[in-house]
């Protein structure tokens, strides 16, 4: 299989367009650092003073893993959809259902970025337009002075009564709400604001990858700069209190400012932090989601993921470090920080500058989330598209419009995420349940694809590679696959007792879909292009050189997850 690219198909109808280089993918992936806004409060509330270390270690792991993804992406210059597509091509030789499982898990890991990001952005907008008064604000004090004598509640509860009375009606209004198992669902003001933001993202994506990259370049510049400011300025202004980094022990109990110990309960909380951090820090692998849209994928693929990784390595290390250094443990455990609604305001306050600067930085954080939403829709829709083209997902998803945008996949993203948005906007418990279930899919995808690196070496070692990762990094990635399995088994239940089982069930939903597509619609045959990408000629059998190793790997991975879940307890 050749990796030479012919540009004449750049605008071929019905296909994605070859219209960007590595810098375009870099700007599309530049929304990934904003993922820190999703769980920085939750991780701080879970692991306490170890939060900054969790982010740094997780980011280093993600950076090392990316070298495996860079290699396998280079094997498929005519595919789009990201590492799950390239990894699925390794597993399809040994177990057909594992290939769509990889693609599906990557999609339901990335797609909820849309709904979760919109819920946070909507909370920021509501905080700006209709703020809830602080319990020690002048407005609350004045209200108690005017109405306190008529209250029948104890004096200690009068401030809470004042906050409730002064809270704008729009903050509590809902058109509809209900409970669905372990989560709630609400069509409240945040839902409708989030839905509008989601539709705006769809409109930008509709123009294709080149238009998306151009828009994100300018938004990215506007957003990355303030995130760098937030990460750097407190280091030079004396805002960082170094005592906020000790003692380096886990919390005794999540969301309570009491130091614990390095026992099983403490390690369980730390593994829970590593589990949820991976959802953000590993995310820059989306930079290789656009291989079939690169003008020269042989050169662009490695550059895209490497430089995106460097950007994330800097921001995912700096921002949580200064965040913790300024706020301290008690500050990080405040409710607006844990539920995410007050993170942007807290970051803005870290750099000082008064109300105007604070308001400006909050708006820039909203832009950061918009950037993140566009990154998510661009990547997740292409995963659906390529999965359909390769014969793993429903046929209708393989359609693109005149701009080369996979619009049916985008509509699928949009509709699913409107439902998830109603859950995410209900409360913090529902938000983190969605995040944890989503990350179960992400860990499964990472496990399969990190092991796909050595599988491709065995089965496709004869194929020229534009980039070949050092063997020790490939091996380290395989080890990290099992470390990630420990994070999932031990850590998912930290966020919700049902998260692991819900994640496994969600992952399994793709099996009947694949069986319908492959055995009923395609009569047990894969599309010719998918086989050609594997270097298999028509009528030729698919070679399997790894023997029993892939099956042993799968069994070992499942065992690690469930043994970790059994052993680690809070």
Domain parsing of the chain, residue ranges: 24-146+153-567
d(CA 190, CA 185): 12
How far does CA 29 lie from the centroid of its chain? 12
What angle (nearest 5°) sits at the alpha carbon of residue 354, between those of residues 349 and 358? Answer: 50
Report pLDDT for 2.
Answer: 33
What is the band of 461 on the pLDDT scale with cuts at 50, 70, 90? confident
Q: Which two tokens stand for residue 12?
A: 């071929």
What is the band of 9 on the pLDDT scale with cuts at 50, 70, 90? very low
Report pLDDT for 19.
Answer: 55
β-bridge partners, 179: 184
- Averaged pLDDT of the chain: 84
| Per-residue pLDDT at 522 exceeds 80 | yes
Query: Best-predicted range by mean pLDDT among 3-12, 178-187, 195-204, 441-450?
Result: 441-450
What angle (nearest 5°) sits at the alpha carbon of residue 126, between those of residues 121 and 127? Answer: 95
Residues 6+ apart with CB under 8 A from 532: 1
Q: For 255, left (φ over 0), alpha (ψ -120 to 50), or beta? A: left
- The answer to whether residues 193 and 126 touch, using CB atoms and an 8 Å cutoff, is yes
d(CA 374, CA 377): 5
Q: What is the mean pLDDT of residues 240-256?
A: 91
> Hey, is 540 helix, strand or coil?
coil
| Per-residue pLDDT at 244 exceeds 80 | yes
What letter would DSSP give residue 543?
P
- The answer to whether residues 437 and 109 touch, using CB atoms and an 8 Å cutoff, is no
Per-residue model confidence as pLDDT tens digits over 409-439: 888 888 999 999 999 999 888 999 999 999 9
d(CA 420, CA 495): 17
Report pLDDT for 214.
Answer: 65
| Per-residue pLDDT at 77 exceeds 90 | no
d(CA 357, CA 3): 50
Report pLDDT for 291.
Answer: 59
> Hey, is 129 helix, strand or coil?
helix
Q: Could you please report the per-residue DSSP string of 458-470?
A: HHSTTS--SS---
Buried/exposed 338-361: b ≥16 CB within 10 Å, e otherwise:
bbbbbbbbbbbbbbeeeeeebeeb
CATH superfamily placement of domain 24-146+153-567:
Amino acid/polyamine transporter I (1.20.1740.10)
Q: Which of 45-54, 100-109, 343-352, 452-461 has the lowest mean pLDDT?
A: 343-352
Q: Containing H/E element for 471?
A: helix 471-495
| Per-residue pLDDT at 206 exceeds 60 | no
Q: Which two tokens stand for residue 137?
A: 């604000």
ω into 45 cis (within 30 of 0): no
Report pLDDT for 153.
Answer: 80
> Hey, is 218 helix, strand or coil?
helix
Q: Which two tokens stand for residue 461?
A: 């070692």
| Per-residue pLDDT at 343 exceeds 90 | no
- For the question of whether the overall pTM of this predicted structure is more than 0.85, the answer is yes
Q: Could you please report the per-residue DSSP string of 341-388?
A: TTHHHHHHHHT--HHHHHHHHHHHHHHHHHHHHHHHHHHHHHHHHHHH
Q: Which of 158-167, 472-481, 484-493, 538-547 has the lowest mean pLDDT?
A: 538-547
Q: For 547, left (φ over 0), alpha (ψ -120 to 50), or beta? A: left
> Hey, is 525 helix, strand or coil?
coil
- The answer to whether residues 356 and 374 touch, using CB atoms and an 8 Å cutoff, is no
Of the chain, the end-to-end C-alpha distance in Å amounts to: 51
| Per-residue pLDDT at 359 exceeds 60 | yes
- The answer to whether residues 230 and 350 touch, using CB atoms and an 8 Å cutoff, is yes
| Alpha carbons within 13 A on the beta-carbon side of 501 | 6
Per-residue model confidence as pLDDT tens digits over 183-197: 899 999 999 999 999
What does each C-alpha distance from 15 to 6, 45, 413 come to in angstroms? Answer: 14, 46, 19
Report pLDDT for 21.
Answer: 66
Q: What is the mean pLDDT of residues 286-312?
A: 76
What share of the chain has pLDDT > 70, as a percent?
Answer: 88
> Hey, is 511 helix, strand or coil?
helix
Q: Which long-range contacts (CB under 8 A, 24 or more apart) does 561-564 make?
A: 561/485, 561/486, 561/488, 561/489, 561/500, 562/489, 563/489, 564/271, 564/485, 564/486, 564/488, 564/489, 564/490
Comparing CA positions, the residue from 289, 282, 283 lying closest to residue 409 is: 289
Report pLDDT for 189.
Answer: 95
Place of tokens 């390794």: 90
């Amino acid at each position: 299989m050749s990796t030479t690219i012919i540009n004449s198909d750049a605008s071929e109808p019905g296909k994605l367009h070859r219209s960007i280089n590595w810098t375009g993918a870099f700007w599309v992936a530049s929304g990934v650092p904003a993922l820190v806004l999703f769980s920085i409060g939750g991780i701080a509330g879970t692991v306490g003073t170890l939060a900054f270390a969790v982010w740094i270690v997780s980011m280093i792991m993600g950076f090392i893993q990316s070298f495996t993804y860079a290699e396998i992406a280079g094997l498929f210059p005519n595919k789009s959809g990201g590492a799950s597509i390239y990894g699925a091509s390794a597993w399809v030789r040994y177990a057909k259902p594992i290939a769509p499982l990889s693609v599906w898990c990557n999609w339901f890991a990335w797609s909820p970025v849309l709904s979760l990001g919109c819920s946070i952005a909507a909370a920021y907008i509501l905080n700006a337009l209709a703020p809830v008064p602080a319990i020690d604000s002048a407005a609350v004090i004045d209200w108690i002075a005017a109405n306190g004598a008529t209250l029948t509640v104890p004096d200690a509860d009068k401030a809470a009564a004042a906050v409730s009375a002064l809270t704008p009606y729009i903050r509590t209004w809902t058109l509809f709400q209900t409970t669905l198992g372990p989560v709630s669902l609400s069509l409240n003001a945040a839902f409708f604001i989030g839905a509008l933001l989601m539709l705006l993202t769809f409109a930008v994506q509709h123009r294709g990858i080149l238009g998306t990259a151009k828009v994100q370049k300018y938004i990215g510049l506007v957003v990355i700069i303030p995130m760098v400011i937030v990460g750097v300025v407190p280091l030079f202004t004396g805002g960082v209190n170094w005592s906020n980094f000790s003692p380096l022990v886990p919390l005794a109990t999540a969301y309570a400012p009491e130091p614990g110990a390095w026992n099983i309960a403490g390690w369980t909380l730390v593994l829970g932090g590593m589990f949820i951090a991976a959802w953000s820090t590993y995310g820059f692998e989306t930079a290789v989601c656009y291989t079939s849209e690169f003008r020269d994928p042989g050169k662009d693929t490695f550059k895209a993921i490497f430089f995106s990784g460097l950007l994330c390595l800097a921001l995912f290390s700096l921002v949580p470090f200064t965040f913790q250094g300024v706020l301290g443990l008690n500050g990080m455990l405040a409710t607006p920080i844990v539920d995410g609604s007050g993170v942007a305001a807290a970051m803005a306050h870290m750099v000082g500058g008064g109300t105007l600067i604070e308001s400006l930085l909050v708006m820039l954080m909203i832009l950061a989330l918009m950037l993140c939403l566009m990154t998510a829709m661009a990547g997740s829709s292409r995963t659906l598209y390529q999965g359909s083209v390769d014969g793993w997902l429903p046929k209708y998803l393989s359609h693109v419009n005149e701009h080369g945008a996979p619009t049916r996949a985008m509509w699928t993203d949009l509709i699913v995420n409107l439902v998830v948005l109603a859950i995410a906007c209900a409360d913090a418990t529902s938000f983190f349940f969605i995040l944890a279930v989503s990350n179960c899919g992400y860990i499964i995808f990472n496990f399969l694809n990190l092991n796909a690196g050595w599988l491709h070496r065995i089965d496709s070692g004869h194929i020229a590679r534009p980039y070949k990762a050092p063997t020790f990094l490939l091996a380290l990635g395989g080890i990290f696959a099992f470390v990630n399995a420990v994070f999932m088994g031990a850590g998912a239940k930290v966020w919700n007792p049902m998260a692991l089982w819900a994640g496994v069930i969600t992952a399994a939903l793709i099996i009947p879909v694949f069986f319908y597509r492959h055995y009923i619609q395609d009569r047990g045959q894969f599309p010719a292009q998918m086989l050609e990408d594997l270097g298999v000629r028509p009528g030729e059998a698919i070679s399997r050189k790894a023997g029993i190793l892939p099956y042993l790997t799968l069994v070992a991975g499942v065992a690690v997850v469930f043994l970790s879940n059994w052993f680690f307890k809070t």
